[in-house]
Structure 1
Amino acid sequence: MNDHFQLNVATVTPAWCNHPFVPATLFRILEILHCEELMQNQLAESEPPTISRRPRDDEIDVYGLTHPGKLRTENQDHFLVGSLRGRLNVRLSSLPDDHRLPLEEERIASFMMVADGVGGGQKGEAASRLALEEVAQYIADSARCYFRADGGEGDFVQALEEAAKRSHQALRERGEVDADSAGMATTLTLWIGVWPWIYLLQVGDSRYYCYSNGVLSQISHDQTVAQALVDQGLLTKSLSEHSPLANVLASSIGGPQTAPVVSRIPSSWENVHLLCSDGLTKHISDKRIAERLGTMRSARQVCEDLLQDALDGGGTDNITIIVGRAVPRE
């Protein structure tokens, strides 16, 4: 993602202050953005959903793809889709038919991740790849949290935040010992489904949308300077979409600042989930995304259709899309 820049509050160039969309209060906004409250986990205020049975493996329809776009020779995006599973292992038993016990691996959680690398060329690709590998490893090592996850489980949320911090530290340390890796960073958006909840970990501006009953909602919140100005009422949403500050990350994995945010929302069978890098949303409106999800036949079909839409719209950046849903088969 060569269009993205990282903002180091201590080294903002004077030219920024002359930009028409950057008032003198920018520094105060960034201070607010990185203050302690926003560094803490933000759990969505919602009532627990009505618990119904969770989807079986054969009822999960999920697909992901990534494409370099029409203008770039390299792809700095990476994605990962998978599940965390537990297994009953019998070591000793007095039961005469212990082979009849359910030994299959049970799905504890499903997860989807998107990372959009920053730094140019191999730096961006390496950053997004290493971030996903680091987070995936930490999730696997912290599997105990998933067994106990419920509406008030603090360990689960802490594990997600710690995964982002460890990934951030790993990239920073690599940059310190390897000059070729200096300056690399990445966005990270991690979706984890622990029925009947969805946990979202976000750093940067790769988005998560939820489509339900004909309505598309952007659940993630872009961590860019442009969005910070919008939040403070100093820039309109429409102007922010065309501002160069929309490409300036205020938070990233491996960058000068990282501010991981963990959110929680209830899940249901009606939800369709979409994760994407900004290579999609640069060229596709939320309205068009909603239209595609509203008429989808399968996760693969809608991913391919959205990719083609983005390419037809210009394809100026790497494009990564994941779509997942549950389809009842009873």
Structure 2
Amino acid sequence: MSPRPRDAAPPQAQGEGRSKPAMTAPEAPTAPASLTRKPLDEEIDVYGLTHTGKVRTVNQDQFLLASLRKRMEVHLTSLPDVTRLKLEDDRLAFLAMIADGVGGSANGAVASRLALEQVTQYVTQSLRCYYGADAREASFIDVLQQAALQTHAEVLRHASLDPDLEGMATTLTVWIGVWPWVYVLQVGDSRYYVYRAGELLRITRDQTIAQELVDRGVLTRTDAFDSRWASVLSSAIGGPQTAPMVTRLQSDWRNVHLLCTDGLTKHVSDERIKQRLATMTSAKQVCEDLLQEALDGGGRDNITIIVGRTVRKD
């Protein structure tokens, strides 16, 4: 969690928590038929961790890693050997989420917890999208946008019922892998990076006042990093405004995926992150190494990191 100004940008009217229209990033090219097979469960190397840091007394970050599956369970049958049915337990999708709560005291922890619970519930109830023949359809993107907007409304509802929760909000970054595509939903400034072949790409755009000033040419990136506006969110779940952004990327076996809250990037540069990912031996090892670097750099904030990759077994 960041200082109080990070709760949200000042409301333009009454601060009712208005929702901006959801935005969708330009689509990636149609996936070629020659794409390699979907990774097996045992070929997925993924790990996540969260730490309070060296200054905060409460950890307001949350994360979740999960697989969404399609299966049939036989309860009763006259068949002599159920194993001959070759029942499917296929992985439909892989889900990774992080949320960085803001709002003072423990309120941010409530907001981030609610966000992950609501998104998990909404996505699970919308499994029909994963059963479709074409996961690239616009309805899939709409599900993610609606998940963010409904979560936003739920956080606002909880805040309205309890004066102690007034002002709570959270960032939210959701990664869903539905082979051969990756969908990323972002609200706030918790980042998603892709590392491949020596290059580190920041896929998400920080939804902060500082980033908006950079986009307008008012601040340089260097000035923005040190600016007081760097900690003021222009979009948040439960904030005065929320603007969910969905990006679609083509899956690639060579990709290494990183999701993190700003507790990492306040202390560890993109260049250093790239170096760590380039020499990683496992997702667990690189998460722990990045955490230690953030702590060594001061650990002023809560730190949450998820790293995932695929490792072929054939």
TM-score by length of 2: 0.93
1:198 aligns with 2:182: yes
Alignment partner of 2:27 out of 27, 44, 52: 44
Structure 1 spans left out of the alignment, 5+ residues? 13-33
Structure 2 spans left out of the alignment, 5+ residues? none
* Number of the residue aligned with 1:79: 63
The answer on whether the counterparts of 1:149 and 1:194 sit within 8 Å (CA) in structure 2 is no
Deviates more, 1:284-293 or 1:145-154: 145-154
Matches within 5 A, 1:1-330: 1-3=1-3, 4-10=6-12, 36=21, 39-49=22-32, 50-89=34-73, 98-148=82-132, 150=134, 152-330=136-314
SS of the equivalent of 1:310 reads: helix
Stretches of 4+ aligned residues off by more than 6 angstroms:
91-96
The answer on whether the counterparts of 1:43 and 1:262 sit within 8 Å (CA) in structure 2 is no
Q: How far, CA to CA, are the matches of 2:41 and 2:187 in structure 1?
A: 29
Per the TM alignment, residue 264 of structure 1 is displaced from its structure 2 partner at its CA by 0.1
Per the TM alignment, residue 8 of structure 1 is displaced from its structure 2 partner at its CA by 2.7
Q: How far, CA to CA, are the matches of 1:313 and 1:93 in structure 2?
A: 61
Q: How far, CA to CA, are the matches of 1:61 and 1:293 in structure 2?
A: 13
Residue type of the alignment partner of 2:245: V
SS of the equivalent of 2:24 reads: coil
Per the TM alignment, residue 35 of structure 1 is displaced from its structure 2 partner at its CA by 6.2
Q: How far, CA to CA, are the matches of 1:135 and 1:151 in structure 2?
A: 18
Per the TM alignment, residue 150 of structure 1 is displaced from its structure 2 partner at its CA by 3.3
Quote the RMSD (CA, aligned, Å). Answer: 1.9
Q: How far, CA to CA, are the matches of 2:75 and 2:295 in structure 1?
A: 54
Q: How far, CA to CA, are the matches of 2:270 and 2:133 in structure 1?
A: 32
Q: How far, CA to CA, are the matches of 1:119 and 1:152 in structure 2?
A: 36
SS of the equivalent of 2:264 reads: helix
Q: How far, CA to CA, are the matches of 2:55 and 2:189 in structure 1?
A: 21
Per the TM alignment, residue 47 of structure 1 is displaced from its structure 2 partner at its CA by 4.0
Distance 1:152 1:60, change over 3 A: closer
For 1:131-154, what per-residue CA distance to the aligned partner results, in whole angstroms no more than 9, with x for missing partners?
000000111100110122636411
Per the TM alignment, residue 43 of structure 1 is displaced from its structure 2 partner at its CA by 3.8
Residue type of the alignment partner of 1:178: D
Residue type of the alignment partner of 2:299: G
The answer on whether the counterparts of 2:60 and 2:101 sit within 8 Å (CA) in structure 1 is yes
Per the TM alignment, residue 41 of structure 1 is displaced from its structure 2 partner at its CA by 2.4
Per the TM alignment, residue 95 of structure 1 is displaced from its structure 2 partner at its CA by 7.2
Residue type of the alignment partner of 1:48: A
